[in-house]
Amino acid sequence: MARVLHWIFRIIGGSLILSFITLACIFYIVLRSIPDYDKSVELPGVIAPIEIVRDTFNVPHIYGKNDTDLYFGLGYAHAQDRLWQLVVDRLTAQGRLSEIFGKQALPLDEFMRRINIYSLAQDSVVAQDDRTKRVLEAYAAGINARFMEINRESLGRGAPELLLYNIPLASWHPADSIALLKLFAVNSSSHYAKEILRARTLITLPDPKRVKDILPDSPVTNGEATMEVLGKLDTNVSVYPPKIKVNSNFFNSFSNNRFAGASNSFAARNHRTAADGTLLANDPILN
């Protein structure tokens, strides 16, 4: 009996030691994935020294001697703080979320590929002026510098969330930044379904005045011109693309407008402003 108890204690003790070592390794990897805001680092692509100062709320304040370095620093800071968000939002814009999250993300991937955000973003890069292209390239270079730093110094995965998913840190491109802007625009819009409904109604009921009665918010100003365009469309157009289940899962961020109401406003009285005047900021999240 004593021999049995001896082995039981040895097994329990070994299990506890193994668990402690495992937890210590996990803690070390997670800790390495959290950015160190106090260190100095030498990175390629920087023209002059850049200083990123964090205030008490951890908001970065970036100081540099030229615009290129400032946007480089902004990209680097975003990759420090928002790496998981950058990677997931890029996959969303590309219609590739299901590669990571499985079939539950397929409806959103299908939708994103139908509206073709990423290809439109690539076209937008070509259409930008030289200054904007330089800004986009400097910002992308800052993000990529953080990616290289993570790989070079074995900084875990760069973000604790990425330890749970095997998402490769592919190089950031100017089109990725514009794609995220377009994704934000789509996600902030609830009008596309109404536009499709209005088009279907005009096809079924080719009388702009009657459509105006049914849909009083419809901005139909030139009914004949609208009908000429709609006459070229397929009459079997659905409000939503086929096979797309709107709001079918967590990953579908295009919510039903019945639950809309996310707008917000902030106001300041005159004695709290430098100009001695009242201020009202509406929807500051969109700025």
Q: What is the pLDDT of residue 56?
A: 86
Report residue 37's pLDDT band, with 50, 70 and 90 as the boundaries. confident
Q: How far apart are CA 235 and CA 237, in angstroms?
A: 6
Cβ atoms of 211 and 219 within 8 Å: the answer is no
pLDDT at 258 over 90: no
* Structure-token pair, residue 247: 């709001």
Q: In angstroms, what CA-CA distances link 131 with 43, 125, 135, 138, 198? A: 23, 12, 6, 11, 40
Q: What is the pLDDT of residues 195-209, one digit of tens each?
A: 777 777 777 777 777
Closest CA to 169 of 84, 92, 112: 84
Q: What is the pLDDT of residue 246?
A: 47
Among 83-97, 136-150, 180-194, the range scoring the smallest mean pLDDT is: 180-194
* Degrees, nearest 5: CA angle 141-146-151: 120
In this prediction, what percent of the chain has a pLDDT beyond 90? 33
Report residue 125's pLDDT band, with 50, 70 and 90 as the boundaries. very high
Q: How far apart are CA 281 and CA 264, in angstroms?
A: 9
Helices within 41-191 (DSSP H only)? 67-81, 83-94, 98-101, 106-115, 117-127, 130-152, 174-187
Report residue 4's pLDDT band, with 50, 70 and 90 as the boundaries. low
Q: What is the pLDDT of residue 17?
A: 72
Which three-class secondary structure state does DSSP give residue 279? Answer: strand
Among 4-8, 91-95, 151-155, 179-183, the range scoring the smallest mean pLDDT is: 4-8
Q: How far apart are CA 204 and CA 283, in angstroms?
A: 37
What domains are defined for the chain?
A: 51-187 (1.10.439.10), 192-257 (no CATH)
| Cβ atoms within 10 Å, residue 133 | 14
What is 87-104 written as a DSSP string?
A: HHHHHHHHT-THHHH-GG
pLDDT at 62 over 80: yes
Closest CA to 93 of 125, 119, 127: 119
Diameter over CA atoms, the chain: 97
Q: What is the pLDDT of residue 90?
A: 95
Residues facing residue 51 across a β-bridge: 63
Q: What is the pLDDT of residue 261?
A: 55
Cβ atoms of 73 and 62 within 8 Å: the answer is yes
Q: How far apart are CA 107 and CA 129, in angstroms?
A: 35
Q: What is the pLDDT of residue 122?
A: 96
Among 34-43, 67-76, 83-92, 118-127, the range scoring the smallest mean pLDDT is: 34-43
Cβ atoms of 162 and 73 within 8 Å: the answer is no
Q: How far apart are CA 115 and CA 73, in angstroms?
A: 32
241 vs 118, higher pLDDT:
118
Q: What is the pLDDT of residues 126-169, one digit of tens each?
A: 999 999 999 999 999 999 999 988 887 766 667 777 777 878 88
H/E run at residue 51: strand 51-54
Q: What is the pLDDT of residue 168?
A: 80
pLDDT at 250 over 50: no
DSSP tag of 52: E
